[in-house]
């Protein structure tokens, strides 16, 4: 039945049904049921066409046109026109558009209805999916951000996360340009010491929006940031929740839509020395150290970047077919996404098909969403972004005298252990293929007008196949001999979720009540088998038969994983006169990953809002809407390994024993465990303010939050004297506090023909460690310290204090006892600060010198349209972080042979005015990595996206039978403003403690795209 079939989730229907039916009483309801059941027969269908414009007569695309009290509806196309089949002459059409007043127009038998929308209505009537239901934005009591899917879809991105950058406040996103790579996304700070990805809910399926998910299928996306919003998802929601609903068909004849984008990708490059400059510097470093110069091949001048990098390209094509009737709808979409990487021998391809359908009869409705994708990636071997630096320009790409025929380091003429990126790309093949099915089946039964039961069955499976072939040959100096080796693994991931929910919706005068109760069961399993063979068969032309039937010395293995999560959930929403809003959530979770006795956890939350602007006493004319919100809630996390509480025996040891050296098995405990693992709990308080002013032209949201995570589940380092290996045992250890301010403001305006809008996001986050496990005061990882009372991963290094210019300076550099601090130093060497005052430079002199956390991050999104043209631009900036420039720590050192930074000027008696110490081969003393010499400010502002689009005139399109069309030109990462000396200040280091370490992470790429969109 159309009354019950959903357009945007169950909650909205509850509202509409209750609003129009409940007040009339039971008899009327029965009559209504009868009527609607036969509506198809009783009412004559008719088609209504029209055009929607604004007050200036400019067409408005994307306006929602709906038949009132039904889910039948459509949207206007780029020319503002719509066509809708309405059930009968007495229907009422509802036109709504963000920033404009909603209008209702009775059809009254008209065939054409043109509408002019007036500015005024705020964005607050948007419907927001909140998890097991929907709410109107004006009724929200918690921190939820909504992103326009169009903003995501116009960017060229592999994953949703990447495309979200700068569009939402409070969300930290770092990606990279590696084909098939998935961006890191962190909502409201680092709240634990493990995987910090948020929970993705796609059409009710708890999953991850990884590279197998096509961002073009998104119909709506919302980000639940605070505890009370995410609480309904209980465990795993501690890092926030991203809810995605995929597109579905709308009533009407079939609509065909096509969009295509084609891009070129260009990697940023280093400025490295060429052979003449390299040789000069290298000889200087050897001479200074008194080491005989190496016999460099000065006739070779290889540009390794030209060899390893290329212009990449990306193709993204989507075609969708959708339509529907009163009793059902369908949407079929197909997607091809291809990316040839900017690094040789890398690429990613995705083929996707999605089918979303739904239908209804009487009080029963049913639907499904299913996506099938196959992704293949040609993976990178080694890291070419390091290799091109470590390879010397004097090394040729090919060298027939080496096994395999590639050039690499040579003891007498090019001493480097760098990897030839061309050799490794050709000698190692790594391919990954994932075939994934992800979808859900749901059914709804409207038991009473106010009571609804919903069943949801979600299922996801992925068949994973990894294939590796190592061909015979070398890529680096002094490599050990390996024959051709083939390795292959096949795995299968399955996740199933079964949910039952019961929801009630009631209006009693000015009181409105919604209640939800439910139970969910989720089971995740994974199993893998693998095999390896050596001495792979090769034919005379060099081809390897890499199937596992070939070769010798077989090795195999396999493992299985399984986890279960059971939850009970409940939510109560109450509002009085739209003024006072209250929302309470309770969730009880049981996780198989926690120790017996600790498996269950209870997570309550409560939130409230006060719409001040609805109060009678509130008479500020220029404020259209003002709402104050507050929430408090608890969330749990058991996001750890499958059996981390369980001490297991490692049975993989084997030994050779006896005169015949036969093999005997061994078994022992290798990894220690903490047997009492319990829930990690996050408590979050959020205070928010929403306002709309100046005829809703300016809307504004401000949030302040404090999140405290206790009993953080972490693999905290333990003493090595325990003999533990295989990873530190997981323990409920630390307490972390994150507090932050998020501001977001949007202004929309127009001047004659030009419509424009600007949105500014601002995020400021403070992270602080309140306790560490095992009574620990510090955790040291690399060059960082994580210390109680400070943020995670502060830079902890030796401080440099310039360069000694003379021997006198060396001899006069003494501590208070008169001890010469660096007696072995020579002019041109670095002076270190003796912070401990003991007259020598040791680890005791290290101090905290900077934070890897930005002071604040900002996003600026600008849009403007004029007649058929539309311009949009996104800027993103991050300010105040201190980062470790891994690149400079390699190219500015002379102790080891790598290529040098072009134009570098090491200290010499002739050139004493430089910050680079004297070049000295073979000693780390002037080039040690644990100093502040490599730390830089990581401030940057970047134009993430710019596009200009042209909407094709209606008249042209009609001639070829199209209903809409648009062409666009766009660019990504084209402008970056920064003083940072590395390749890219916007990088993603996977380490929690070394988040500021730019360790040759794959950079963001410049992209130039053309796009085409049309429909008919």
Query: From the CB of 718, what's the least distance to another protein, in Å?
Result: 5
Contact positions with another protein (CB under 8 A) in 893-912: 895-897
Place of tokens 């006060």: 610
Round to whole Å and give the CA distance between 141 and 581.
7
- Residue 770 touching another protein (CB under 8 A): no
Query: From the CB of 197, what's the least distance to another protein, in Å?
Result: 23
Of 642, 704, 856, 1008, which lies in the binding site for another protein, with binding defined by CB under 8 A? 642
Choices 54-62, 228-236, 504-512, 712-720 (CB under 8 A): range interacting with another protein? 712-720
Phi, psi of 124 (to 5 degrees): -75, -5
Round to whole Å and give the CA distance between 172 and 167.
10
Query: From the CB of 600, what's the least distance to another protein, in Å?
Result: 8
Note whether 841 and 826 are within 8 A (CB). Answer: no
Q: Is 498 exposed, middle or buried (0-12, 13-18, 19+ CB in 10 A)?
A: middle
> Tokens at residue 626, please?
């003002």
Looking at the Cβ atoms of 46 and 519, the one nearer to another protein is: 519
- Residue 654 touching another protein (CB under 8 A): yes
- Residue 443 touching another protein (CB under 8 A): no
Query: From the CB of 135, what's the least distance to another protein, in Å?
Result: 25
Interior/surface letters 549-580, b for 16+ CB within 10 angstroms, e for the rest: eebeeeeeeeeeeebebbbbbbbbbebeeebe
Query: From the CB of 497, what's the least distance to another protein, in Å?
Result: 12
Looking at the Cβ atoms of 729 and 1003, the one nearer to another protein is: 729
Query: From the CB of 729, what's the least distance to another protein, in Å?
Result: 5
- Residue 663 touching another protein (CB under 8 A): yes
Bridge-partner residues for 588, per DSSP? 568, 602
Phi, psi of 992 (to 5 degrees): -70, -40
Of 93, 231, 731, 952, which lies in the binding site for another protein, with binding defined by CB under 8 A? 731
- Residue 657 touching another protein (CB under 8 A): yes
Contact positions with another protein (CB under 8 A) in 546-565: 553, 555-557, 559-560, 562-564
| Size of site (CB under 8 A) for another protein | 94
- Residue 833 touching another protein (CB under 8 A): no
Round to whole Å and give the CA distance between 207 and 201.
6
- Residue 150 touching another protein (CB under 8 A): no
- Residue 519 touching another protein (CB under 8 A): yes
Of 299, 540, 661, 752, which lies in the binding site for another protein, with binding defined by CB under 8 A? 661
Choices 145-153, 215-223, 579-587, 722-730 (CB under 8 A): range interacting with another protein? 722-730
List C-alpha distances in Å: 528 to 195, 466, 489, 496.
Answer: 22, 11, 7, 18
Q: Is 424 exposed, middle or buried (0-12, 13-18, 19+ CB in 10 A)?
A: buried
Round to whole Å and give the CA distance between 871 and 863.
6
CA geometry: angle 603, 605, 606, nearest 5 deg: 165
- Residue 662 touching another protein (CB under 8 A): yes
- Residue 717 touching another protein (CB under 8 A): yes
Instruction: Spell out, one character per residue from 598 to 637, where the chain touches another protein: x when CB under 8 A holds, - when not.
Output: -x--------------------------------------
Query: From the CB of 152, what's the least distance to another protein, in Å?
Result: 37
Phi, psi of 424 (to 5 degrees): -70, -35
Query: From the CB of 473, what's the least distance to another protein, in Å?
Result: 13
Bridge-partner residues for 635, per DSSP? 682
Of 38, 543, 652, 956, which lies in the binding site for another protein, with binding defined by CB under 8 A? 652
- Residue 848 touching another protein (CB under 8 A): no
Place of tokens 């890219």: 984
> Tokens at residue 964, please?
């809409």
Place of tokens 């100096």: 477
Task: Single out the residue of 374, 367, 390, 5 nearest to residue 180, CA to CA.
Answer: 374
Contact positions with another protein (CB under 8 A) in 314-373: none
Contact positions with another protein (CB under 8 A) in 914-933: 922-925, 928, 930
Contact positions with another protein (CB under 8 A) in 57-116: none
CA atoms within 13 A on the CB side of 190: 24
Looking at the Cβ atoms of 437 and 529, the one nearer to another protein is: 529
Query: From the CB of 908, what's the least distance to another protein, in Å?
Result: 22
Largest Cα span, the chain: 104
Contact positions with another protein (CB under 8 A) in 560-599: 560, 562-564, 566, 568, 590-592, 596, 599
Looking at the Cβ atoms of 387 and 986, the one nearer to another protein is: 387
Query: From the CB of 568, what's the least distance to another protein, in Å?
Result: 8
SS3 811: helix
Choices 215-223, 620-628, 649-657, 999-1007 (CB under 8 A): range interacting with another protein? 649-657
Looking at the Cβ atoms of 54 and 994, the one nearer to another protein is: 994
- Residue 472 touching another protein (CB under 8 A): no
CA geometry: angle 52, 53, 55, nearest 5 deg: 140
Q: Is 985 exposed, middle or buried (0-12, 13-18, 19+ CB in 10 A)?
A: buried
Note whether 882 and 977 are within 8 A (CB). Answer: no
Q: Cα(first)–Cα(last) distance of the chain, in Å?
A: 28
Note whether 176 and 1001 are within 8 A (CB). Answer: yes
Instruction: Spell out, one character per residue from 859 to 898, where the chain touches another protein: x when CB under 8 A holds, - when not.
Output: ------------------------------------xxx-
Bridge-partner residues for 617, per DSSP? none
Of 28, 445, 515, 760, which lies in the binding site for another protein, with binding defined by CB under 8 A? 445
Of 25, 112, 299, 411, which lies in the binding site for another protein, with binding defined by CB under 8 A? 411
Task: Single out the residue of 80, 86, 127 nearest to residue 105, CA to CA.
Answer: 86
Choices 348-356, 374-382, 421-429, 496-504 (CB under 8 A): range interacting with another protein? 496-504
Round to whole Å and give the CA distance between 94 and 258.
27
- Residue 856 touching another protein (CB under 8 A): no
């Amino acid at each position: 039945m159309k009354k019950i079939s959903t357009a945007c989730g169950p909650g909205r229907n509850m509202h509409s049904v209750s609003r129009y039916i409940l007040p009339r009483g039971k008899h009327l309801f029965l009559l209504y049921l009868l009527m609607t059941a036969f509506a198809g027969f009783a009412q004559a269908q008719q088609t209504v066409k029209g055009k929607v414009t604004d007050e200036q007569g400019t067409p408005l695309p994307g306006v929602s046109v709906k038949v009132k009290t039904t889910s039948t509806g459509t949207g206007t196309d780029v020319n503002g026109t719509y066509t809708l089949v309405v059930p009968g002459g007495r229907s009422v059409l509802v036109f709504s558009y963000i920033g404009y007043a909603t209008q209702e127009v009775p059809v009254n038998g008209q065939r054409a209805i043109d509408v002019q929308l007036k500015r005024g209505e705020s964005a607050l009537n948007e419907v927001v999916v909140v998890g097991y239901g929907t709410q109107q934005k004006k009724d929200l009591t918690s921190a939820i951000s909504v992103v326009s899917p169009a903003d995501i879809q116009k960017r060229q991105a592999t994953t949703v996360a990447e495309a979200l950058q700068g569009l939402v406040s409070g969300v930290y996103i770092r990606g990279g340009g590696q084909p098939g790579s998935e961006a890191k996304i962190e909502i409201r700070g680092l709240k634990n010491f493990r995987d910090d990805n948020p929970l993705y809910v796609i059409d009710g399926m708890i999953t991850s929006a990884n590279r197998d998910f096509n961002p073009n299928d998104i119909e709506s996306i919302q980000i639940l940031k605070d505890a009370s919003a995410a609480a309904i998802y209980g465990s795993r929601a501690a890092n926030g929740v991203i809810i995605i609903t995929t597109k579905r068909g709308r009533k009407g004849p079939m609509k065909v839509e096509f969009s295509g984008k084609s891009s070129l990708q260009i990697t940023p490059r280093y400025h490295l020395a060429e052979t003449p400059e390299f040789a000069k510097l290298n000889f200087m470093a050897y001479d200074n150290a008194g080491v005989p110069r190496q016999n460099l091949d000065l006739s070779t001048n290889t540009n390794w970047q030209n060899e390893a990098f290329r212009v990449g390209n990306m193709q993204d094509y989507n075609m969708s077919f959708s339509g529907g009737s009163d009793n059902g709808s369908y949407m079929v979409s197909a997607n091809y996404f291809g990316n040839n990487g900017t690094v040789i021998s890398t690429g990613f391809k995705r083929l996707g098909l999605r089918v979303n359908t739904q239908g209804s009869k009487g009080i029963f409705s049913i639907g499904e969403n299913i996506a099938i994708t196959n992704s293949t990636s040609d993976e990178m071997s080694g890291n070419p972004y390091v290799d091109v630096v470590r390879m010397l320009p004097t090394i040729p790409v090919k060298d027939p005298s080496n096994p395999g025929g590639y050039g690499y380091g040579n003891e007498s003429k090019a001493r480097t252990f760098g990897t030839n990126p061309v050799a490794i790309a050709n000698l190692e093949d790594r391919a990954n293929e994932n075939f994934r099915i992800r979808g859900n089946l749901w059914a709804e039964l409207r038991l009473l007008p106010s009571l609804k039961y919903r069943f949801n069955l979600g299922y996801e499976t992925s068949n994973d196949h990894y294939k590796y072939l190592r061909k015979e040959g070398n890529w680096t100096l002094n490599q050990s001999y390996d024959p051709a080796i083939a390795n292959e693994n096949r795995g299968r991931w399955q996740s199933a979720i079964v949910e039952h929910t019961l929801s009630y919706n009631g209006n009693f005068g000015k009181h409105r009540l919604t209640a939800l109760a439910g139970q969910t069961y989720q089971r995740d399993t994974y199993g893998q088998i693998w095999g390896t063979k050596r001495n792979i068969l090769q034919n005379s032309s060099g081809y390897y038969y890499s199937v596992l039937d070939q070769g010798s010395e077989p090795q195999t293995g396999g493992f299985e994983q399984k986890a279960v999560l059971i939850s009970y959930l409940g939510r109560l929403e109450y509002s009085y006169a739209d003024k006072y809003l209250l929302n309470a959530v309770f969730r009880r979770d049981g996780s198989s990953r926690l120790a017996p006795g600790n498996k269950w956890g209870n997570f309550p939350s409560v939130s409230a809002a006060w719409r001040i602007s609805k109060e009678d006493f509130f008479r500020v004319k220029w404020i259209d809407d003002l709402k104050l919100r507050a929430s408090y809630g608890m969330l749990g996390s058991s996001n750890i390994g499958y059996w981390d509480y369980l001490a297991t025996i490692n049975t993989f040891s084997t030994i050779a024993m006896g005169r015949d050296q036969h093999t005997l098995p061994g078994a022992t405990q290798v990894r220690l465990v903490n047997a009492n693992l319990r829930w990690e709990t996050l408590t979050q308080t959020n205070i928010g303010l929403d306002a709309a002013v100046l005829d809703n032209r300016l809307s504004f949201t401000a949030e302040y939050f404090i999140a405290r995570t206790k009993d953080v589940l972490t693999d905290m380092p333990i003493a090595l004297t325990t003999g533990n290996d295989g990873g530190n045992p997981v323990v409920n250890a630390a307490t972390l506090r994150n507090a932050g301010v998020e501001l977001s403001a949007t202004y929309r305006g127009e001047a004659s023909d030009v419509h424009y809008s600007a949105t500014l996001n601002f995020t400021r986050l403070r992270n602080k460690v309140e306790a560490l496990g095992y009574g620990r005061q510090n955790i040291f990882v690399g060059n960082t310290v994580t210390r109680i009372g400070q943020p995670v991963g502060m830079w902890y290094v030796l401080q440099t204090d310039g360069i000694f210019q003379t021997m006198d300076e060396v001899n006069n550099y003494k501590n208070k006892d008169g001890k010469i601090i660096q007696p072995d130093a020579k002019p041109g060497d670095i002076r270190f600060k003796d912070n401990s005052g003991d007259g020598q430079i040791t680890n005791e002199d290290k101090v905290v010198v900077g934070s890897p956390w930005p002071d604040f991050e900002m996003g600026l999104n600008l849009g403007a349209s004029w007649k058929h043209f539309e311009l949009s631009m996104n800027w993103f900036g991050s300010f105040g972080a201190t980062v470790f420039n891994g690149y400079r720590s390699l190219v500015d050192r002379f102790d080891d042979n790598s290529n040098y930074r072009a134009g570098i000027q090491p200290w010499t008696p002739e050139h004493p005015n430089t910050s680079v110490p004297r070049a000295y081969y073979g000693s780390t003393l002037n080039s040690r990595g644990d100093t502040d010499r490599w730390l830089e400010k990581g401030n940057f502002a970047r134009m993430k996206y710019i596009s200009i689009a042209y909407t094709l005139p209606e008249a042209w399109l009609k001639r070829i039978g199209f209903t809409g069309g648009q062409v666009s030109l766009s660019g990504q990462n084209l402008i970056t403003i920064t003083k940072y000396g590395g390749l890219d200040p916007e990088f993603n280091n996977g380490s929690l403690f070394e988040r500021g370490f730019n360790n040759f992470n794959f950079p963001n790429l410049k992209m130039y795209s053309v796009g085409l969109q049309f429909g008919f």
